[in-house]
Amino acid sequence: MELKINATDIRWWFWAITLVFILAAISGWDPGYYVVMAISAAQVLFFLAQEKSLTAFPSQIRVVYFAFTLFGLWPEVRFFIYIILLLGTIMVTFFGRCSIALVLKHMPWNRGREVRLN
């Protein structure tokens, strides 16, 4: 795998900042969970404005990711879900690989459409 850091792209910064706050949250700073949710909600809005469609592939990724962040509201499972989000966010931030995208591209409504992370 090749390291892919694009510090000139705001979309990369969304992931990088999310990664920092996921680390803070699982390290014990509980407000970090809410910050991650807020950043993820902002990503959904950003991509809705950019793509002008909730069904656009990049928008779908952000909606699913945001849905996963909402597990931060459930104290009993949030640590485990956020560990999974941490691993996925590391892959997106540093390697441009997204497990959510890999799953979504196989969904029936995405057959025959362009699959892209950004």
Average pLDDT over residues 87-103: 93
Describe the crossing of helices 31-51 and 75-95 by its angle, rounded to 10 degrees. Answer: 50
Average pLDDT over residues 92-103: 92
d(C-alpha 72, C-alpha 45), whole Å: 20
Structure confidence at residue 112 as a pLDDT band (50, 70, 90): confident
Tens digit of each residue's pLDDT (9 = 90 or more) over 7-35:
899 999 999 999 999 999 999 999 999 99
Which pLDDT does position 118 carry in this prediction? 65
pLDDT above 80 for 1: no
Rounded to two decimals, the pTM is 0.91
